[in-house]
């Protein structure tokens, strides 16, 4: 029966939306769905979201095309609801089931006319490959090779994906194949020369290869999802047979959450920083009260659960997530644990920022965000204490707050449940990011110690690698356009396919900028895209990762563009500045470098130009450039 | 104080079908309610299952095509 708790959250979402308080509404929606991810709650939220005015309170419009071999329309409510929680206003295009080929192979189909921001191809194994699933036992002989079946699958998949990519630049998410629900040959199945399991493995490998060889095609690990929840829970035979909707109602939200991992990554909404509490979070008990021998951390329960949680946090560090601490404690007590406790997996060096004092956690979070030059909306805060969680939610509604459950053995899975930190790929830069923050801290100490800025720049011994975007740097260059908000002139987001187009176009310059200094190699941290017209080289994209702001790298980048323009006989450099909430650091770029402002429109967007015959930008003397 | 079955069903139908709960009565039925199509019929069934922690047979799906019918079928299961 309906309980007051659920009504409070629903009412809160409605009230916040009516008051135009988007982030507070998102918080309440998040809490509502965490407590009860039910059809009613998904539908309730969907109705509210659909009724929002066209501005949508600042939600990012996101067009999702769903192409499926089964009736996937029952997922719409949870997709729109979770989209809202994640800052997306999702609009769905979905043809009737069984129209996969018609929609994808016909360039005049509704799918292409929709111009989706992302396309999902959701096919159940038994719909696409009955010979492997339901008709497996019909094969002529026990030793049947299924060659034709595997070949046919590869060809069909290739045709769909190739035609899709030739017609649309939308990213494509393709489900892989889950194992058959029924082992058709019983326990003898494994012994067959070609078992169902083996066939599915081979087919999935083909699918992965296809995805790897086509730009912006990503595999959704549907098999892992079904495996995680279990076939018994995941499927509803009743609905499959009655409505051609095989996925159980209670599982549809989980599929939506899986899609959210991709949508976030594709939209630059992936979280970047995890801020953890310490007591009853990284260890059991309270260090200030229990002492180093009294806290629980080690091979026995519950200490073993906290070790597992530390491992889960450390793994995020290795994936390029920035870690920070926000704890109400005496710093000396905390240092003792990090230095002396033999079962601490996490070390002080893993944390880019620590805020250990008695002030409110919201203050800690604000200082951490400032110290890291990261938006609060890219931060996740984890605490066992419901009061602390509530305080942060109230003060900083843009922060994602995870309240840990009462049982520590559930901490790790709670942290990972939504995949808030999932990225589409893991680069070497991601793996090194934690160390780079340590290096940055060292560089900043050096700045504080050095006499003047020029000495500081010289002492950094910076080496710039300026190169054309190529196959090996395509993913990283694209990622930077999607993630960089602060030092970004125009904040144009590129997909890999679009970046590849620029890369191949002779009238475009597509350039990556790498920075190495005496503390280490930052890798590729800047991107420039410029279009060569007859009279001017027009800057479309100019961005720099916040890690290397304040070192005049941007001057060297502009100097390179000036040289490139003159080399083509072009006498002017022009560009546009589109002001956003986040790009204050880049606002004076053109002015500082001698550009003249040409126009300004009602939105504050300005256009600028520089006459190269009179004043190209010189490259600062303290850089060594590797071209 | 928990609500009675009728009110719970009305609130549920109101959300699923996007209609005013106070206007639902015994005559409210699939054939006279805009938006109450076969897709939403399934959504109603699934929502009722979640709300009341019960499970319907497929044969019962198509019996529940009015507010009155829904209350009858649900009451018999609780």
- Inspect the interface and report whether the beta carbons of A243 and B42 lie closer than 8 Å: yes
User: How far apart (Å, rounded) are the C-alpha atoms in residues A20 and A478?
Assistant: 33
- Inspect the interface and report whether the beta carbons of A249 and B50 lie closer than 8 Å: yes
- Inspect the interface and report whether the beta carbons of A43 and B49 lie closer than 8 Å: no
Within A36-86, residue ranges assigned H as helices are 39-50, 76-85
Contact A559, A546 (CB under 8 A): no
Q: What is the CATH number of the domain that holds B49?
A: 1.10.1200.10
pLDDT at residue number A96: 84
Q: What is the CATH number of the domain that holds A283?
A: 3.40.50.1000
Confidence of residue A3 (pLDDT cuts 50, 70, 90): very low
User: How far apart (Å, rounded) are the C-alpha atoms in residues A617 and A610?
Assistant: 9
Q: Is the pLDDT of residue A2 over 60?
A: no
- pLDDT tens column, A344-391: 999 999 999 999 999 999 999 999 999 998 999 999 999 999 999 999
Q: Is residue A453 part of a domain?
A: yes
Confidence of residue A455 (pLDDT cuts 50, 70, 90): confident
- pLDDT tens column, A534-550: 899 999 999 999 878 88
- Inspect the interface and report whether the beta carbons of B39 and A238 lie closer than 8 Å: no
Instruction: Give the range of the structural domain holding residue B16, as residue numbers without chain letter.
Output: 5-77
Query: Into how many domains does chain A fold?
Result: 3
Of A39, A47, A73, the CB nearest to B50: A39
Distant-in-sequence, close-in-space partners of A607: CB < 8 Å, separation ≥ 6: A574, A575, A576, A577, A597, A598, A599
Mutate to test the interface with A, among B3, B43, B57, B62 (most CBs of A within 10 A): B43
Contact A172, A217 (CB under 8 A): yes
CA distance B65 to chain A (A): 17
Mean residue pLDDT of chain A comes to: 92
Mean residue pLDDT of chain B comes to: 93
What is the percent of chain B with per-residue pLDDT over 90, rounded to a whole number?
94
- pLDDT tens column, A68-108: 999 999 999 999 999 999 999 999 999 987 899 999 999 99
Instruction: Give the range of the structural domain holding residue A99, as residue numbers without chain letter.
Output: 37-266
Of A40, A43, A242, the CB nearest to B58: A242
Query: Into how many domains does chain B fold?
Result: 1
Partners of B74 on chain A (C-beta within 8 Å) are: none
Say yes or no: A254 and A121 in one domain.
yes
Say yes or no: A410 and A436 in one domain.
no
Q: Is residue A70 part of a domain?
A: yes
What average pLDDT does this structure show over A174-195?
Answer: 92
Confidence of residue A155 (pLDDT cuts 50, 70, 90): very high
pLDDT at residue number B1: 38
Partners of A251 on chain B (C-beta within 8 Å) are: none
Q: Is residue A231 part of a domain?
A: yes
- pLDDT tens column, A226-245: 999 999 999 999 999 999 99
CA distance B13 to chain A (A): 9
Q: Is residue A552 part of a domain?
A: yes
CA distance B7 to chain A (A): 10
pLDDT at residue number A141: 66
Which residue did the predictor score with more confidence, B43 or A626?
Answer: B43
Q: Is the pLDDT of residue A419 over 90?
A: yes
What average pLDDT does this structure show over A264-270?
Answer: 92
Say yes or no: A379 and A297 in one domain.
yes
User: How far apart (Å, rounded) are the C-alpha atoms in residues A188 and A191?
Assistant: 6
pLDDT at residue number A148: 87
Q: Is the pLDDT of residue A442 over 90?
A: no
Of A1, A39, A47, the CB nearest to B43: A39
Q: Is the pLDDT of residue A417 over 50?
A: yes
Q: In B, residues 45-74, which contact A (CB 8 Å cutoff)?
A: 46-47, 49-51, 58, 61
Say yes or no: A196 and A325 in one domain.
no
Q: Is the pLDDT of residue A418 over 70?
A: yes
Asked if B12 reaches chain A (Cβ–Cβ under 8 Å), the answer is yes
CA distance A80 to chain B (A): 15
Nearest CA in chain A to B5: A1
Say yes or no: A472 and A446 in one domain.
yes
Q: Is the pLDDT of residue A4 over 60?
A: no
- Inspect the interface and report whether the beta carbons of B12 and A40 lie closer than 8 Å: yes
Sign of CA dihedral A311, A315, A316, A317: positive
Q: Is residue A605 part of a domain?
A: yes
Partners of A40 on chain B (C-beta within 8 Å) are: 12, 15-16, 47, 50-51
- Inspect the interface and report whether the beta carbons of B15 and A238 lie closer than 8 Å: no
Which residue did the predictor score with more confidence, B14 or B62?
Answer: B14
User: How far apart (Å, rounded) are the C-alpha atoms in residues A381 and A401?
Assistant: 5
Q: Is the pLDDT of residue A437 over 90?
A: no
User: How far apart (Å, rounded) are the C-alpha atoms in residues A259 and A120?
Assistant: 9
CA distance B26 to chain A (A): 21
Q: Is the pLDDT of residue A525 over 90?
A: yes
Tokens 């507070």 map to which residue? A24
- Of A8-12, A193-197, B33-37, the range with the lowest mean pLDDT is A193-197
- Inspect the interface and report whether the beta carbons of A44 and B11 lie closer than 8 Å: no
CA distance B72 to chain A (A): 17
- pLDDT tens column, A38-58: 999 999 999 999 999 887 788
Q: What are the phi and psi torsion angles at A153 (to 5°)?
A: -60, -45
pLDDT at residue number A1: 45
Chains A, B: CB contacts under 8 A, how many? Answer: 46
Q: Is residue A318 part of a domain?
A: yes
Those residues of chain A whose CB sits closer than 8 Å to some CB in chain B are: 1-2, 38-40, 43-44, 47, 73-74, 238-239, 241-243, 245, 249-250
Say yes or no: A187 and A45 in one domain.
yes
């Amino acid at each position: 029966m309906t309980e007051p708790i659920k009504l409070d959250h629903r009412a809160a979402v409605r009230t916040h939306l009516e008051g135009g308080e988007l982030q507070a509404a998102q918080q309440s929606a998040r809490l509502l769905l965490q407590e009860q991810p039910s059809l009613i709650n998904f539908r309730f939220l969907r109705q509210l979201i659909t009724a929002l005015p066209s501005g949508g309170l600042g939600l990012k419009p996101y067009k999702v095309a769903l192409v499926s071999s089964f009736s996937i329309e029952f997922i719409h409510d949870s997709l729109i609801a979770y989209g809202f929680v994640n800052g997306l206003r999702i609009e769905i295009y979905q043809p009737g089931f069984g129209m996969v080929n018609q929609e994808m192979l016909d360039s005049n189909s509704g799918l292409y006319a929709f111009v989706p921001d992302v396309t999902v191809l959701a096919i159940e194994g038994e719909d696409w490959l009955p010979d492997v699933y339901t008709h497996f036992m019909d094969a002529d002989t026990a030793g049947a090779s299924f060659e034709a079946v595997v070949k046919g699958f590869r060809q069909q998949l290739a045709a769909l994906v190739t035609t899709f990519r030739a017609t649309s630049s939308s990213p494509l998410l393709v489900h892989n194949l889950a194992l058959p629900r029924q082992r058709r040959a019983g326990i003898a199945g494994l012994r067959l020369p070609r078992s169902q399991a083996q066939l599915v493995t081979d087919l999935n490998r083909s699918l992965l290869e296809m995805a790897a060889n086509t730009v912006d095609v990503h595999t959704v690990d549907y098999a892992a999802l079904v495996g995680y929840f279990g076939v018994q829970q995941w499927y509803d035979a009743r609905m499959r047979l009655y409505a051609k909707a095989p996925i159980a109602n209670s599982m549809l939200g989980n599929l939506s959450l899986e899609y959210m991992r991709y949508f976030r990554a594709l939209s630059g909404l992936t979280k970047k920083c995890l801020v953890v509490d310490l007591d009853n979070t990284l260890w059991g008990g309270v260090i200030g009260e229990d002492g180093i021998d009294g806290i629980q951390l080690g091979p026995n329960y519950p200490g073993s659960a906290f070790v597992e949680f530390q491992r889960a946090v450390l793994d995020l560090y290795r994936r390029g997530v920035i870690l920070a601490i926000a704890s109400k404690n005496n710093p000396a007590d905390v240092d003792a644990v990090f230095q002396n406790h033999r079962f601490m997996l996490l070390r002080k060096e893993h944390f880019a920022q620590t805020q250990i004092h008695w002030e409110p956690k919201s203050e800690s979070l604000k200082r951490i965000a400032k110290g890291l030059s990261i938006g609060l909306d890219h931060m996740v805060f984890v605490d066992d204490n419901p009061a602390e969680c509530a305080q942060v939610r109230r003060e900083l509604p843009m922060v994602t707050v995870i309240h840990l459950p009462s049982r520590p053995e559930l901490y790790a899975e709670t942290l990972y449940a939504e995949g808030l930190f999932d990225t589409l790929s893991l680069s070497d830069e991601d793996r090194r990011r934690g160390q780079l923050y340590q290096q940055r801290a060292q560089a900043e100490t050096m700045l504080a110690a050095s006499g003047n800025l020029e000495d500081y720049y010289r002492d950094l011994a910076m080496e710039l690698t300026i190169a054309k975007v190529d196959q090996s740097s395509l993913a990283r260059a694209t990622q930077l356009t999607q993630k960089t908000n602060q030092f970004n002139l125009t904040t144009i987001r590129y997909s890999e396919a679009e970046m590849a187009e620029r890369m191949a176009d002779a009238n475009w310059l597509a350039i990556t900028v790498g920075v190495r200094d005496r503390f280490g190699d930052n890798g590729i941290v800047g991107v420039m895209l410029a279009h060569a017209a007859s009279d001017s080289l027009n800057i479309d994209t100019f961005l720099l990762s916040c890690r290397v702001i304040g070192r005049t790298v941007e001057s060297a980048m502009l100097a390179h563009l000036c040289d490139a323009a003159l080399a083509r006989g072009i006498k002017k450099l022009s560009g546009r500045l589109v002001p956003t909430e986040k790009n204050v650091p880049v606002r004076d770029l053109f002015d500082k470098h001698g550009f003249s402002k040409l126009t300004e429109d009602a939105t504050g967007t300005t256009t600028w130009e520089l006459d190269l015959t009179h004043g190209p930008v010189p490259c600062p003397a303290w850089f060594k450039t590797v071209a | 104080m928990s609500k009675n079955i009728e009110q719970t069903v009305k609130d549920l139908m109101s959300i699923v079908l996007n209609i005013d709960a106070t206007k639902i009565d015994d005559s409210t039925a699939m054939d006279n309610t805009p938006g109450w199509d076969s897709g939403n019929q399934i959504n109603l069934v699934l929502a009722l299952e979640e709300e009341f922690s019960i499970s319907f047979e497929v044969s019962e799906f198509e019996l529940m095509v009015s507010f009155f019918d829904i209350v009858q079928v649900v009451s018999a299961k609780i």
